Structure 1
Amino acid sequence: MKRLITVLLCVLALNLTQAQTNKAGVEKACMNYIEGFYEGDTAKLKESLQPSLNKFGFWKNKDGNYDQQDYMSFEKALAYATNVKEKKQFAKPDAPKVVEVLGIGNSIAAAKVTAWWGIDYILLSKRGDKWMIEQVIWEGPLEK
């Protein structure tokens, strides 16, 4: 009986460790995403974005309506970050950087990111032992 309890406790501990590892991986990918854009750091974006990235969103116009913005590919994301760095148009030090993990499966996850431009809902996939961003839909600006 003691052996069975020991085995069950070991399995439980392994599952909890794996869940924490997955959560940390999702959070890291999302934080790389935010910081990549904030800092103009293409290395952080390459670390966490799938080359097949599909990103689009909605921006509030002067009439208060939301218009769909252009699609952003992996290449456009890198170009945007490069532009931030070249023009030194970094985010303010107090700009929000919030990652909320919404759910994690065996090979998929969802997260919500809050950044200076608004909110993003992010879908990720696990590639080997690494979480990568596949799709992003966003809306900005944040209401004040």
Structure 2
Amino acid sequence: MKKRITALFVSMIVATVFITSCNTKHGEKHEHSHHSEKKFDNVEHANVENAIKDYVEGIYLVDSTRIERSVDSTMRKIGYWYHPKKKEYVDNLPMTYTQLVSLAARWNKDGKRADESSPKKIEIYDINSKSASAKLTAAWGIDYFHLSKVNGQWKIMNVLWQSIPEPEE
């Protein structure tokens, strides 16, 4: 029984190698990397990036009109804030569109939370005709975005964020 299982297993491996080599010889290309470079339309890339810039600069510059321009009123935002004294994350903090607009109008009112040198690194992962995904690294942490093209304009629909934990001593 053991010999039959071993022979069957070896036969399966040989067949897989043979089929793969035949397919490759006949012009089929196999992607070995999950991270193939995707080319984005320059205009759409700029429009997605501008929506995220409006979001981060709306909060940094205490300009809630930029949130209103870039975020859909049906937005769902949820996050994980790191509590430095407890040395743990406070989970699942939801935020509505209205709460985000209100937060943008006051979060940096004294100018002490963010300035010109504060991070606002935007990475766009994917852009399709109606959907896009991206990441923002900002003063408060990391935001992951889903955007949707609504009436010809890119709007932020979902945000999943996490604050950056204090370094361990």
Provide the TM-score with structure 2 as the length reference: 0.69
1:101-134 CA deviation, whole Å, 9 max, x = no partner? 0111110000000000010000000113210000
* Identity, % of aligned positions: 31
Larger radius of gyration: 2
Residue type of the alignment partner of 2:66: K
Match of 1:37 in 2: 59
Residue type of the alignment partner of 1:39: L
Residue type of the alignment partner of 2:70: S
Alignment of 1:110-121 (within 5 A): 110-121=133-144
Match of 2:90 in 1: 67
- How many residue pairs match? The answer is 128
| 1:40 and 1:81 in contact (8 A); partners too | yes
Match of 2:132 in 1: 109
Alignment of 1:1-144 (within 5 A): 19-61=41-83, 62-84=85-107, 87-88=110-111, 91-141=114-164
Which fold has the larger relative contact order, with Cα–Cα distance below 8 Å and residues 6 or more apart in sequence? 1
Deviation at 1:141, TM superposition (A): 2.3
| 2:49 and 2:124 in contact (8 A); partners too | yes
CA RMSD of aligned residues (A): 2.0
| 1:52 and 1:74 in contact (8 A); partners too | yes
| 2:113 and 2:139 in contact (8 A); partners too | no
Distance 1:142 1:27 in 2: 26
Query: Secondary structure of 1:45's partner?
Result: helix
